[in-house]
Structure 1
Amino acid sequence: MSDAQRTTAEPEKREEFSGQLGFILSAIGSAVGLGNIWRFPGVAYENGGGAFMVPYLIALLTAGIPILFLDYAIGHRFRGSAPLALRRVKRWLEHLGWFQVAICFVIAVYYAVIIAWALSYFVYSFGLQWGDDTAGFFTGTYLQLADVGGADPWFTLDFVPAVLIPLVLVWVATIIVLAAGVAKGLEKVNFVFMPLLLLAFGTLVVRALFLPGAADGLNALFTPDWGAMTDPNVWIAAYSQIFFSLSIAFGIMITYASYRKRRANLTSPGFVVAFANSGFEVFAGIGVFAALGFLANQQGVAIAEMDGLSGPILAFVTFPALVSQMPAGGLFGALFFGSLVMAGYTSLLSILQVVSASFQEKFGWTRAQAAIRIGLVAAVFSVLAFSTTTGLIALDTVDQWANNIGIVTSAVVTTVVIGWVLRRTEEMRFHLNAVSTIKVGRWWSFCIIVLGPVVLTYMLVSRIVSLVVDGYEGYSGTYLGVAGWGTIALLVVAAIVLTRMRWRVEPDVFSAWPRNGDKS
């Protein structure tokens, strides 16, 4: 398309959240995901128990909230999804925006599969169909996991119908909501699902607290190991948990903030979202470990002797085992897996909204066109790569690289470029203070310029070294090169290619508001 074919006008008026409550619920819906339920309790238990709350809170205040505010400032000030907003900060930063979009696409492709698993298990709960061997049912009967032995797992096209059917349903529902738009789609889903999630999971937590052995589980989780405070890995675990659970640094909160009204308050809702997310994590930890205490009591073992205290194994192996031991277990299994579906689905919508908004802005697509085209392409990749007999292995590998390398790289580049290269931190702080009731001081600039880059760079380098030296899960270097490092290469190539494509609407005809020096 020639320059003459491009309009020099700004895009039509952006969609907006209906109000502050709609934004807060949607942002919480994005932040509260699968990791809040199945990751935080195990991470806390393994890293000092009650003592972990100290580095966790410090990480929230010095990295989580500051980077969350940075995303808000970029999206709200420059009125666009990640590629458009970052391009308006500095033209060549569009590459970073598309890198974040590519991360979101990759994560969405496999995240939908986990929601499909939870949807299947929601149905299985009513008949406790997993039986006595929950591990065998999950990997054998349900996923039909290929026995790769010492060979490279690679990818097969042996589809698993039990995964494929709910996965298609997840994608159909996702496309419909994205096509409905921000206010009529995303916001309405979160208005329904967030209260339902709290009610369903809250019921489960209350029931777990009254089970035999619940106190033992809570003691295991919250008994502090103060010696862990001197271990650098515990602090890195705290920063990692905050970083990954808040949906920051890969385009989501930039995009969401761009849908706020011009004079919308940013910092107060930001604190609400951050503390609501952390509060739900602690709440989930209480419920999960009270339930684990019951299971340990039934099996006559200590919590420390149990396996599967976090991740998919906790959700799809350990929890079904304890549900089978509970009175009215089917009901509480349905509550647990229903909670996973709702938490995962609201996060999936936010992830894909980043992709949808970016393509709408660059190529002039309508909401419906973006939802259908992106949704169908993502669904095809999702089915081909992750609904097969090697799907679990591929999912685990791609997730490891996309999160620990892709997202952390994005965060490092964002903080270093904004803080050191372009020196735009004070402009972002000015914007936050100009529109917000709670002002941010120079502590915020220090966190963005110094503390954030140092901690995140350490996280990134240590993880790269570990993956290069130790590999991952015993898989061959060839497989990890394709499924792991190949994913990162794909993100980079996508960022370069999409940046070089022409905009249908002129992106640079724009004036940031308020201007530096304005008091209104």
Structure 2
Amino acid sequence: MSTDVRSEKVRRGAFSSRKVFIFAAIGSAVGLGNIWRFPYVAYENGGGAFLIPYLVALFCAGLPFLYLDYALGHRFRGSAPLSFARLSRPAEAIGWWQVGICFMIAVYYAAVIAWALRYTFFSVNTAWGDDAETFFMKDFLQTGDVTVDLKVVAGVLVPMVIVWLAVILIMVVGVEKGIGLTSVVAIPVLVLAFLALVIRSLFLPGAAEGLEAFFTPDWSTLTHGGVWAAAFGQIFFSLSIGFGIMITYASYVGRDTDMTGSGTVVGLANSSFELLAGIGVFAALGFMAQSQGVAVDEVVQGGVGLAFITFPTIIGEATGGALIGVLFFASLVVAGITSLVSVLEVVVSAVRDKFDLSRPVAAAAVSIPAAAISLVFFSTASGLYVLDILDHFINQFGILLVAMVSMVVVAWSLRALPQLADHMNQHGSIQLLFWWRLLVGGVVPIALAYLALDSFRTDVETPYGGYPTWMIALFGWGAAASVMVAGYILAPIRWRRGTSLDLPVDDTEGAER
């Protein structure tokens, strides 16, 4: 390995082995959405039948796009902006667009982790009493009218500060000792905790009815385009692809690593965890339905409603509910932390590459402003409303749009798929042949374009969530547009002295295979 390449590895940081990289990638992919989003989406879109479009989306879109992200980062050895710049200088703006999206996600993602942290302790004595919804909305978050209310909620502020201090420490420590070690420890803990939750849920009265509702297939839904769109959307949401995370992580892996095999392990592990989450969640929902004497569909809620209203209600009614609550919310905290550090790493890595900053300085320069913005907007009485709007628009018109643009540019404008495939095939156990170029250059962009256009039509016709127009314009459309504009503002800035935009020399001494 050349001296230049060795010094570059030391400067940027690297994962010590393929195993650590896989754990870190799984940690990024397995997040809050796996636990509360997948069960609800599957139930609403055909139950057991949804697994067919879901698996099609995984193998025809999710894994091929994951391989593309890996190829860009592993081939060009940089953050998202640097990798795109080394591919083609004008394409750098796409990388900064992805960086902006990750920064936006980080500032609100920490809030949900903080809620889960607080609820881990609330579960011990079921502090929410008999009315979990009123407790969450009024007592805990102290929400009022749908407007911007900057009244600080101490019960949210304190756990958010704890979350940010932990995350900043991880980011400052570095790639291997921070992100890598956190993932290697946290992912097994997460799996064991959630497995214990699933086992406990299966023995609740009514669990069988919940699982029947979850798995009973409604084959007629397979003829609906919206069901297939939901499957593609879930795969992109859960695999953390298309917005710089996997590009950045792949740049920290040695040249001789089997990247396609690693990607397959990550994708299958992520989907397996989602299926496990569905089993555990619906077993618990079946118990709740039986105890209330209602059908399962009357207690099913998605998103925040499932995590912080429905599950606390279950915990309050079940024998041994405190254990279920601690396991569930602790799982959310662990999954959230591993995902949050991966999102922030995209920004930290890009800032380090661009401005030649040390790891601690770059981590502080990114994490402290993100924490400050997060605390200002999401520890307040209106934090839930701002979070809901921002999350919807960044996902629908940030992640999906930049993913589509990046694939079209790489496949059609730069025609770079053959060289990326050749690079991945050197050590890959799964060869990227014509089928991969067809999917990445055709099938996946078309699917994403459909998703984006359908979401745009829906949000134009019906204001999202019934929120005031000015809030949607500011925190929704405005936020989604600002990350795109930021990409084109940051791209022309000169790279640090010594950064070469030429193709990097191969590093033949990499992580263990």
Assess same fold via TM > 0.5: yes
State how far apart, in whole Å, the 2-side matches of 1:326 and 1:413 are: 48
The correspondence of residues 284-363 of structure 1 with structure 2, limited to 5 A, is 284-308=277-301, 310-363=302-355
What amino acid maps onto 2:51 in structure 1? M
Aligned to 1:163: 156
**Which string of whole-angstrom CA distances, capped at 9 and with x for unpartnered residues, describes residues 289-338 of structure 1?**
00000010111111122242x20110000000001111121121011000
Residue of 57, 61, 64 corresponding to 2:62: 64
What amino acid maps onto 1:164 in structure 2? L
* 1:434 and 2:426 matched: yes
State how far apart, in whole Å, the 1-side matches of 2:456 and 2:133 are: 31
What amino acid maps onto 1:332 in structure 2? I
The correspondence of residues 498-513 of structure 1 with structure 2, limited to 5 A, is 498-512=490-504
Flag as ranges the 4+ runs of structure 1 deviating above 6 A: none
State how far apart, in whole Å, the 1-side matches of 2:280 and 2:85 are: 44
Residue of 208, 219, 223 corresponding to 2:212: 219
Kept in 1: contact 2:125–2:322 (CA 8 A): yes
Residue of 28, 41, 44 corresponding to 1:43: 41
- Alpha-carbon RMSD across the aligned residues, in angstroms, is 1.3
TM-aligned CA deviation for residue 489 of structure 1: 2.3
Aligned to 1:381: 373
Aligned to 1:242: 235
Kept in 2: contact 1:434–1:514 (CA 8 A): no
TM-aligned CA deviation for residue 469 of structure 1: 1.4
Distance 1:429 1:513, change over 3 A: farther
Kept in 1: contact 2:82–2:501 (CA 8 A): no
Moved more, 255-264 or 477-486: 477-486
TM-aligned CA deviation for residue 493 of structure 1: 2.6
State how far apart, in whole Å, the 1-side matches of 2:493 and 2:152 are: 35
State how far apart, in whole Å, the 2-side matches of 1:289 and 1:499 are: 46
The correspondence of residues 143-158 of structure 1 with structure 2, limited to 5 A, is 143-148=141-146, 153=147, 155-158=148-151
Kept in 2: contact 1:178–1:371 (CA 8 A): yes
* Structure 2 unmatched runs, 5+: 508-513
* 1:183 and 2:179 matched: no
SS at match of 1:436: coil
Kept in 1: contact 2:393–2:477 (CA 8 A): yes
* 1:142 and 2:168 matched: no
Residue of 71, 74, 83 corresponding to 1:73: 71
Residue of 392, 400, 408 corresponding to 1:400: 392
Aligned to 2:103: 105
The correspondence of residues 363-378 of structure 1 with structure 2, limited to 5 A, is 363-378=355-370
* 1:12 and 2:4 matched: no
* Structure 1 unmatched runs, 5+: 1-8, 516-520
TM-score (norm 1): 0.95
**Which string of whole-angstrom CA distances, capped at 9 and with x for unpartnered residues, describes residues 397-431 of structure 1?**
00001011100111111110011111111111111
SS at match of 1:440: coil
TM-aligned CA deviation for residue 250 of structure 1: 0.1
Residue of 48, 51, 54 corresponding to 2:52: 54
**Which string of whole-angstrom CA distances, capped at 9 and with x for unpartnered residues, describes residues 44-85 of structure 1?**
000000000000000000100000000000000000010000
State how far apart, in whole Å, the 1-side matches of 2:61 and 2:429 are: 21
What amino acid maps onto 2:456 in structure 1? I
State how far apart, in whole Å, the 2-side matches of 1:291 and 1:86 are: 45
TM-aligned CA deviation for residue 436 of structure 1: 1.2
TM-aligned CA deviation for residue 434 of structure 1: 1.1
Q: How many residues align?
A: 501
TM-aligned CA deviation for residue 514 of structure 1: 5.9
Aligned to 1:518: none
State how far apart, in whole Å, the 2-side matches of 1:331 and 1:402 are: 35
TM-aligned CA deviation for residue 495 of structure 1: 1.2
State how far apart, in whole Å, the 1-side matches of 2:501 and 2:59 are: 36
TM-aligned CA deviation for residue 127 of structure 1: 1.2
Aligned to 2:94: 96
Kept in 1: contact 2:299–2:310 (CA 8 A): no
Kept in 2: contact 1:431–1:514 (CA 8 A): no
